[in-house]
Structure 1
Amino acid sequence: MKRVLLSAALGLGLAGAAAPALADLALATSKNCMSCHAVERKVLGPSFKDVAAKYKDDKGAVDALASKIMKGGSGVWGPVPMPANNQVSEADAKKLAAWVLSTK
C-alpha cells in the first residue's frame, strides 16, 4: 500500500514539492525547536522567517546556524540565550538550518 501511495505522489510531482518542507517541520518539532520558535512569528526566539531574512546573503549561514543549534548562542536576537541542543546531530542541525533559511 505504501508503494502505491508513494508512486502516486511521485507521479503527481507531490513528493518533491511537499515532502521536504513537511519532513523538516517534523524534524523541527521532534527536536523541540517549536517550543521556542515558530515559522512566521516570534515566540521566545525569533521566527524562522526572521532568521532566514537576517542571513539571506550569508554564504556560511547553514554551518553557522547548525553550530548554534547544537551549541547554543546568545546576543544575536536579544538577551535570551538559545540553549545547546545535545540531542541534535550535526547532520540534523544542518538539515534544520537549511530548512530555516528556506522559509522566506
Structure 2
Amino acid sequence: MKKAVYVAALVVAGFAASGQAMADEALAKAKNCMSCHALDKKLVGPSYKDVAAKYKGNAGAADKLAAKVKTGGKGVWGEIPMPPNNVTPEEAKKLVTWILSVK
C-alpha cells in the first residue's frame, strides 16, 4: 500500500512539473519568443538548450537575462540584435527561469 501511494505521489509530481514546463513554453509562444528561438536548435537566436548550458551555475544569470528579455541586447550570441520584448518583469523572470531549466 505504501508503495502504491509513493508511486501515485511521484506521478502527480511529474504531471505538475510537466504542466509548469508547458505553461512556460506556452508563454514563450504567446510572446512570440519562438519566432526566433527553439528548444534545441539555433534559429535567428540561440536555442534555449544552448542558453541554459551557457549560463548553468551562474547565480546572477536569471536577473541579467530577464533584463535582456525586457530591454533587448546584442553581441553575446552574434551580431543580430534581440529586440526589446513586450513583457512584464514578472513574465521576463518566468520565461528566463523556464529557459534556464531546459535540458
Query: What band does the TM-score fall into relative to the shorter chain?
Result: 0.7 to 0.9
The AA in structure 1 aligned to 2:95 is L
TM-score normalised according to structure 1 size: 0.85
Distance 2:52 2:45 in 1: 13
Q: Could you say what secondary structure the match of 2:79 adopts?
A: coil
User: Which of structures 1 and 2 has the bigger CA Rg?
Assistant: 2
RMSD: 1.5
What are the superposed Cα offsets for residues 56-97 of structure 1, whole Å, 9 maximum, x if unpaired? Answer: 021011101100000000000001000001x20000000000
Structure 2 counterparts to residues 5-44 of structure 1, below 5 A: 12-13=11-12, 14-44=14-44
Distance 1:41 1:22 in 2: 18
Q: Which residue of 1 aligns with 2:5?
A: none
Q: Percent identity?
A: 56
Distance 2:52 2:10 in 1: 31
TM-score normalised according to structure 2 size: 0.86
